[in-house]
Every structure is written in C-alpha cells, then in structure tokens.
Amino acid sequence: MATEIKVPTLGESVTEATIGELLKSVGDSVAVDEPIVSLETDKVAVEAPSPVAGVIKEFKVAVGDTVEVGAVLAIVEEGAAAAKSSDEPKAEAKAPDAGVEKAAPAQAKEATTAKETATSDSSQTLSPAVRRAVLEHGVDPSTIKGTGRDGRLTKEDVIAAAQSKKDGAKGDTPAPAPASSAPAAAATGERREERVKMTRMRQTIAKRLKGAQDNAALLTTFNDCDMSAVIEAREKYKDLFAKKHDIKLGFMGFFAKAACLALKDVPSVNAYIEGDEIVYHDYVDISVAVSAPNGLVVPVIRDAQDKGFARIEKDIADFGKRAKDGTLTMDDMKGGTFTISNGGVFGSLMSTPIINPPQSAVLGLHRIEDRPVVVDGEIVIRPMMYIALSYDHRLIDGREAVTALKIIKEAIEDPTRMLIDL
C-alpha cells in the first residue's frame, strides 16, 4: 500500500517551507519515523519523517521548491522494505565472501571511530543529513574535502568518499582524476563569480532586520565595565561549580542575571509596541543569539528571572550544541522579550546591535581586553568590556536606556548585587 509523506505542521504562523535537501533517493528503504526530507523554514531547519516503513517510490518535490503545510513530499510503498531485507540474506548465502567476514571487525572499528568523530568534531559544522551519512558509511569527516559553500561537507561528499574507500578496499585502481582547471584559471588571471540562492532563513533574517530599521526608531547607548570581579569569581569557583552542576561557569550567566535586574527596574526595556498599545511582561524570556550553519538564530531562555546560574549556563550550552547540529525546534525560537548578543566571541570590540522584532531592546557584549583606566586617582590596567544597548526610542527614552545599561554595568562590576537584588 502506498502512503503519502506530507509537510508536517511547522509551527505558529509558519505556513510554508523550502526543500533544503532530499535525505533519501527513490528506491531507498526507510524505517518508521526516519527523516526523508529536510525543510528550511523562516526560523529553523526541520525534517519530515516517514510514518511507515517501506521503500521510497517517488518524490513529488525537488530541492529549492517552496511547499505549504500539508503538501505531498513523497510516496512510500509500505512493506517493500521488509521484502527487500528478507531477500538479502539469501543473496549472501549463495555467494559467501570470506574476505568480507574477515574485514568485519576492522569495518566495525572504523564505523565506531567515525561515529565518535561525528559526535565530537567541533572543527566543522555538519548538517543532520551529513552527520547521518557519516555514521552510515563509517567515514571520518575531517579527512574529506567539502565542496559545499564555504567548504562545508555535503551528503554527496560523504557518499563519494565512502565509495572511494570501498573501491580502494577491493583493490580497484581508481581512475585518474581529470586535470583541474583551477591552476589554468589562476595562471591566466581569470576572475570568477558564484551566485548562490539565499536560504529561506537568510531571506527572513534580511527582511526582519531591515524591517527593524524601517519601523523602529533605533538608537544605541554605550558603557564599559570592569570584568575583574566576574573573572575573579569564575576563577575561584569554576572547579566547584563544574563539579556540582556538570557545566562550566561562563560569562553569559552573569549578564543574563544582571539583565534580569535591569529589566525589573526598567520594565519598558522588557516591553514592546503592538499597534497603539504597549505590552509589558512580568517575566524575562531572554533570546540568546547563537550561530547556526544557515545563519544567526535566537533560541529563548524561558523565565530567566527564576533560574540560577547553572540552569542558564546549561540552557545556553544546549542551544549552542543543537544550533550546530541543526536540531533546534520552532518552540525553542518562539517568543522572547529581550535579546543578548555576544559578538565578543568572534573578537568584536564594539558594535551597534539591531533589535529582534517585536522586542524593543538588545544587549551587545564584546571582547574583553586589558586597558588603562583611572581608579582612585591612579592609572591601572583592568580587563574591560564595552557593552551596548540598542533600543526602540519610540518606547524607551534615553534616560531609561542609560539607567538599564548602568544597572547591568554595576551588577557585573559587583556581582554581590545579583544576590541581594540591588
């Protein structure tokens, strides 16, 4: 019996998606709940799984197509997978291969190594489809040269590497590779251009950020803060903290808690405009900007005002890992009343971050560097960080923005304030 695989519900207000990648081919076997198509939405990449086990009979879409919720993606023939798998042992029985049996332990070891590499490799970002291909074919992604944009690995790169490895194991002599045209192009001084279609997420990011500039009265106020106290606290308690909570004590936990203090005292910074009304919140849902393969995403730490440092640090670490793996969900991105963006991890000294609509403010963090400052009439060297608060001047006055940023500065320079709510 044939079963239609349809576009699943994508989340609140999301009605369509773009086909990012076909994770299977026609004729491939699929198990129940195994993903067959990767979909790019306005916010995250999601996968469409098969509700039945069988063999893919037909794809109704192609990469790059725009599809709506409920549209048919593919046709799966139920039961064909079982029939196919039952035939395989017979074929093996007719033509046993002692060499294969002998090589099995080595292949198992290679597959285990590939699995560990795919799980722990942080030098490159692997999409879910690529990660799955690495595990299935038992190859080391660090040894494969990516042909995707910015040198990223594609599923085809992994399959080609696996096939090459297989041919080498059989003793086949690989055909000589065609001469590369790149040296010739370089020799003649030829210049090239590449046109790549924007992903749906990148298009949405562009529209939202431009919309923020067009619709909001954006302004940024700056301050700097002495990071000595926070650095000292981290050095003093990092081992105990990690031992008790099984997570590293980072800077974001301090800034998240400092922001909660500021937003409590200056509620307009935690509000937004909706029509001709101002929506205030008695809770703080902090959107944390993290990098994903297709662009910047902002998962949300819910009720940050009620969470301790350990829970906040664990949430942030989980978001970062899932952003790289491409497993963030629509619910992870939903909502948010205030945003923190840390450009310092990339080396930024100072910036004017853009608000994340419909929010009215965003805190920008930057790199820490030793600078000469005057303390009690003397010039001393201190680890300093510039902090920036961009805000919608339609709702937030300059006095309120400066006050909020000053509260954050004072809490960072004297972390005891966070304990006694000052």
**Residue 70 carries which DSSP code?**
T
Measured between alpha carbons, how far is 20 from 47 in angstroms, rounded to an integer? 10
Quick one: how many helices (H) and strands (E) in the chain?
12, 18
Contact 126, 153 (CB under 8 A): yes
**Has 33 been annotated as catalytic?**
no
Measured between alpha carbons, how far is 219 from 399 in angstroms, rounded to an integer? 12
Integer CA distances (angstroms), 214 to 208, 210, 355, 392, in order = 10, 6, 12, 11
Angle at 53 between CA 50 and CA 59, to 5 degrees: 50
Q: How many CA atoms within 13 Å lie on the side-chain side of 66?
A: 7
Measured between alpha carbons, how far is 407 from 422 in angstroms, rounded to an integer? 9
Of these residues, 33, 167, 397, 414, which one is catalytic?
Answer: 397
Of these residues, 33, 303, 393, 414, which one is catalytic?
Answer: 393
Give the number of other Cβ atoms within 10 Å of residue 322's Cβ.
18
Measured between alpha carbons, how far is 375 from 365 in angstroms, rounded to an integer? 23
Comparing CA positions, the residue from 300, 304, 258 lying closest to residue 282 is 304
Phi and psi at 352, nearest 5°, equal -120, 90
Tokens describing residue 43: 């916010």
**Identity (one letter) of the amino acid at 359?**
Q
**Has 393 been annotated as catalytic?**
yes
Measured between alpha carbons, how far is 255 from 84 in angstroms, rounded to an integer? 57
Radius of gyration of the chain (CA): 26
- Give the active site residues: 393, 397
